[in-house]
Amino acid sequence: MAPDVMQDEEQALSAPPLQQDAAVWARLKSDIHGVRKYQLGLLFESEFWYTCDKTTLLSPLAPSTPPELILQDCVVRKATESRETLRVAAEYPVVPDAAEIRHWESVDENTDCDIVCNTPTTILAPGNRVTVFAHVMHEKPGLRRSGFITDAQRNGLCRVRVCAGGKPIRALSDALISDLLSIPTHGDEIVVDGDEVRPHFLVGDVTPVVGDRVVVLAGPHRRRVGTVDHRQQLSGTTVVGIRSGEIILNNVAVSHIARLLLPGDKVKIVYGHFAGEEGYISRTFSLNNKHPTEPQVPAGGIQVHLNKNNTPVETIAQWVRFLRTDGTSPGNGSTYELEQADEVVPQNSTKLTKGWTGSSSQKNECW
């Protein structure tokens, strides 16, 4: 019998009986067990998990097997088949759009659904949505495994915010930033080694595209800033070429870089409560509630002045993309590097050197 997880917030969260915690996003190429072609879902070893609207419970075409979970606005079902059959019937990996995974947000918020999707990702930085490996949480029973990085330290430790006031972080709420910046109570956050976290299964494709401004945060080119010149696969790993002034840094691992968003950039918010909104960045800010005046590079929080009503909204950096309506990239020009962290100007802003010529026309400007 399918468990109903519409329960009192004080009760423990239910956990979907997933086959394992590692999956890949897939889309069916043919019908299987009553699941129609083109259905998006999570592909496990021999199971395909998917969501559908709650109204389908009354449909005569609904599968005869009961759903695995019944939530307030959707149901979660699974189709079981042999590994070989599922691999033939599904296209994978795929990148779902925001509308397709909206139901999965409900699953994540209302259950203890902690899935790891091994997709290419940038270096884990403040403002990233992540999942903590299960073996770490065995030592911290009762805590959620999914949350948002609010601070990433040089020694590799990450501060992950998993709750606000004892309740799960509301990823799609307009109060997301308020939740992340609120003073944590016991169990609201954990400190974990960066090697023990992976991108959350709902982050989608976060790798920078050609023309994006990025900063290198690991490897021999650390502290170098430039724009992505090209992307390619090298021995199964996604690498990029970065144009930094007159030189191109080749074969830089995507896992060593992060987008660098700065005030003045024209951007679009691609996920969360303000998804689809466009505007320009009016300021960047730190998500580190322990040391809020210390700058973060790159900043985890972004304030965007919206075009439609000229009002500011706040979101996380991972959900913001450069908007190039004129076909230009956000940052071209001479070589530049980030200054040492202890030389960065106050107000949580980023200082660039050597003739910065980004969206602002002023060189060596300190934001």
Determine phi and psi for 204, rounding to 5 degrees. 70, -160
pLDDT of residue 327 exceeding 70, the answer is: no
pLDDT class of 141 with cuts at 50, 70, 90: low
List the chain domain ranges.
22-110, 116-199
Q: What is the pTM of this model?
A: 0.82
Is 348 in contact with 285 (CB distance < 8 Å)?
A: yes
Which residues, 6 or more positions from 154, have their beta carbon under 8 angstroms from its beta carbon? none
Nearest by Cα to 127 from 105, 149, 143, 147: 149
Amino acid at 314: E
- Range 9-15, long-range pairs (CB < 8 A, 24+ positions): 9/167, 12/142, 13/110, 13/111, 13/112, 13/144, 13/168, 14/69, 14/111, 14/112, 15/111, 15/112, 15/113
Average pLDDT over residues 53-75: 86
Order of strands, edge to edge, in the sheet holding 278-285? 312-316, 301-306, 278-285, 266-269, 320-322
Is 365's pLDDT higher than 50?
no
What's the whole-number average pLDDT of the chain?
81
Contact 256, 361 (CB under 8 A): no
pLDDT at residue 119, rounded to an integer: 67
Give the mean pLDDT of 280-303. 90
In whole angstroms, what separates CA 103 from the centre of its chain? 17
Q: For residues 176 and 273, give the distance between their C-alpha atoms in angstroms, rounded to a whole number.
A: 9
> What pLDDT score was predicted for residue 91?
93
Of the candidates 82, 202, 40, the residue with the CA atom closest to the CA atom of residue 131? 202
More confident residue, 54 or 139: 54
- The predicted model gives 298-322 an average pLDDT of 96
Q: What integer is the mean pLDDT of 266-284?
A: 96
Distance separating alpha carbons of residues 102 and 107, to the nearest angstrom: 9
- Six-digit token pair at 334? 């001479």
Q: List, in sequence order, the alpha helices (H) in 15-131.
A: 83-89, 102-110
What are phi and psi for residue 156, nearest 5 degrees? 95, -10
Per-residue burial over 106-137, b if 16 or more Cβ lie within 10 Å, else e, is bbbbbbbbbbbbebbbbbbbbbbbbbbbeeeb
One-letter amino acid for residue 82 of the chain: S
Would you state the structure tokens that stand for residue 243, as one six-digit string? 């144009």
Model confidence band, residue 113 (pLDDT cutoffs 50, 70, 90): confident
E strand map for 263-335: 266-269, 278-285, 301-306, 312-316, 320-322
Residue 72 has pLDDT above 90, yes or no: no
pLDDT of residue 168: 86
